[in-house]
Amino acid sequence: MSGIAGLALRQGSSPAAATVQALAAALAHRGPDGQGQHVQGSVALVHRRLASMDPTGGGQPIFAGAAALVADGVVYNHQALQAQHQLPCATASDSEPALHLYRREGLGFAEHLRGMYAIAIHDRAIRRVVLARDPFGIKPLYLAEVAGGVAFASEPQALLAAGLLPPRLRPEALHELLQLQFTTGAETIFQGISRVLPGETVVLSDGAITERRRRDALPEGGPEPVGEAEALERLDQALAESAALHLRMAAPCGAFLSGSIDSATVLALMARHSEAPVLAFTAIFDSAEAPEAQAHAARLAKAAGARHDCITVTAAELWRHLPEIVGCMDDPAADYGIIPAWFLARHAREQVKVVLSGEGGDELFAGHGRYRAARRPWWLGGKTLRARGAFDRLDLLRAPPTGWRDGVAAAEAAEAGHGRSRLQAAQALDMADWLPNDVLVRLDRCLMAHGLEGRTPLLDSGVAAAAFRLPDALKVQRHSGKWLLRHWLADNFPAAEPFRPRPGVSVPVGAWIAQVADRLAPLVAAQPGVAALAKPDRVLPLFRRADEKRAGFAAWHLLFYALWHRRHIEGRRGEGDVFEVLGER
C-alpha cells in the first residue's frame, strides 16, 4: 500500500525537481514508511511507501534491465507468479513479479495479476510509461494532460498541490455529485483530471496517451445452471482461497466489523485462516440503535474468538473532525460511510497497519434492495436504478441539475446485454461506477489519511467467478438478497444469524444536522460554492427538517459540498471544527 505519482513529458523535456518533490510531499500520508524517486530523461516516478509486505527489501522504485516500477497496493498471487514463470526476483516484494512479467510479455502483463494495484512502469528501452489499475478499481490512479506532457498520481489533490493545473470544477460532474453523491465515468469533477479506469492499461509515449486496453472484473455470460449444493462448494473454495491470499502480510492486521453479513463473512474467514486471534474494530453512533448494534458486534467477535474494540462516534466528535474527513475526499463521494471509516481508521492505526473489510459483498452477491426492484419489469413495479436525485422536488437549487444521469445511462447501456439477467445488469452497473467511485474511494481515502492499509477479500477474481453468474434465485429469495452468502454463513458461522431480519445501522447525520440547523445552515448558505447553487432562504428550512430521510440526504450533500469546495477549489484549509472553519472569512 503506498502512493505513486509521476511525469511523462515530451522528449527533450526534463521534470522539474520542485514538481517531483511537491508530488511526493502531497502523498506523504499514503506512505509514512519511506519514499523513492526515479528521474530519467523526460520521465519521473515517485513512490511513498506503507510497508505491509517485505518490510526490509520492498523499497521502490524496483529496477530490472531498462525498466523501473512503482506500485500502490498488493499483488496477492506474487509467490505463485514467481514460481510458475520462474521470475528472477531479487526481493520478496509482491510488486517485483509484475515488472518481470512486463519485460517478458509487454502490455499483457496485468492479465496475470490478482490483487489491488495501481502500477507505473518506465520502459527506457522503448521510451514509454505504462500505467495499470486493478479490475475492480480498489486502488486509485489519476491522469492529467499538463504543460509538456502527462502527469499521474494516486490522488487528484497531488496533481493540484504540485501546481500542474488549477482546481476548476467540471459542471456536469458537480451535478452528478449533488444528485448521486458520487461522480461517474473516466472524467473527475476537476477539469483536466481523469481516472485510469478499473482494469485499464494506459501507454504514455512522448508526452501523450497513445494506447488504452481494458480487462473486465466480471465474468462474461448470464446465470449458470448450478444447484445450491455445488454453488456452496464453489463459494467455500473461492472464499477460502481469497482469505488465504489476503492474509499474507508481515504487518499486524485487524478487521472492520459492522455486524453486517459482509463483515461477518470476513470475520469468519479471518478466524478460520489466522493463527492468532483476530482484532475486530467496530464503530457505533450515539443513537438509540447503538446498544443493539454494539451487542450484536460483540457477540460475533466472541463467537469468532476475536478481541473486540468498539468506539462511539458522537455528534460533537463529528463536528470537530468533519473538515478533516471531507478534506481527505479529494475525489468527492458524499457518502455517510466516510464517517465511520475515518474514525475507525484513526483508531485502528494505533494498533495495526492493515485491516480487512467487506466492501464488494453487496454488489457481487446482490445485497442492495434496489436490485430486487431492478430485476422486475416495469409493469410489475420494477424501477430504474438511480432515476431520482437527492435534490429532486425540493425547490432548493437555483436551477435544476442537468445531465446528471448521463453517466449512469452510458454505463447502463454498456453493461446491459452480454446474456445477463436484469439482476446481473444492475449489479454490473454498480460495479462500473458506484463501487470504484464511491465505496472504494471512501475506503481508500479515509484509511490512507491515517496511513492504514485496507484489504477487501470479497473483491477477488475467484470470488467474482463463484458469485456473479449464480442463478438469480441463489442471490435473491423471499425479499432477501445475498441468499447464497447467507447460507454459507449459516453453515460456517451460525452466530451471525444471517437469516434473522435486522435493521441496518444508520449514521444519524440528518438528526445531528437538524439539532444544530439554526447555527449551521447560515454558515453553509454563505459559502461561495453553495451560494452559487442554492436559494439562500431555502437552506435553513431544509436543515431544520434534516431528520427526515430525503431532507437529511440533501442537507448532508450540501454540507459536504460546502466543506469540499472550500478545501479543494478555494484552497482554504482552515483550522478548528466545522463551525469555525465555515465561519472563517
Whether the model clears a pTM of 0.75, i.e. scores above it, the answer is yes
Residue bearing cell 468527492: 332
What's residue 58's pLDDT?
A: 67
Percent of the chain with pLDDT over 70: 97
Q: What average pLDDT score do residues 97-124 get? A: 97
Q: What average pLDDT score do residues 384-396 get? A: 91
Q: What average pLDDT score do residues 322-334 get? A: 98
How many Å apart are CA 293 and CA 349, to the nearest integer? Answer: 23
The three-state secondary structure class of 458 is: coil
Q: What average pLDDT score do residues 83-102 get? A: 94
Q: Is the pLDDT of residue 249 over 90?
A: no
Q: What average pLDDT score do residues 410-425 get? A: 90
Percent of the chain with pLDDT over 90: 86
How many Å apart are CA 348 and CA 357, to the nearest integer? Answer: 13
pLDDT digits (tens, 9 = 90+) for 205-214: 999 999 999 9
Residue 398: CB partners within 8 Å, gap ≥ 6? Answer: 532, 533, 534, 535
CA distances from 369 to 220, 385, 552, 571 (A): 24, 11, 20, 39
Q: Read off the pLDDT band of 377 (50, 70, 90).
A: low
Q: Which domains does the chain have, with CATH numbers?
A: 2-214 (3.60.20.10), 228-390+405-496 (3.40.50.620), 509-583 (no CATH)
Q: 131 pairs with which residues across the strands? A: 120, 202
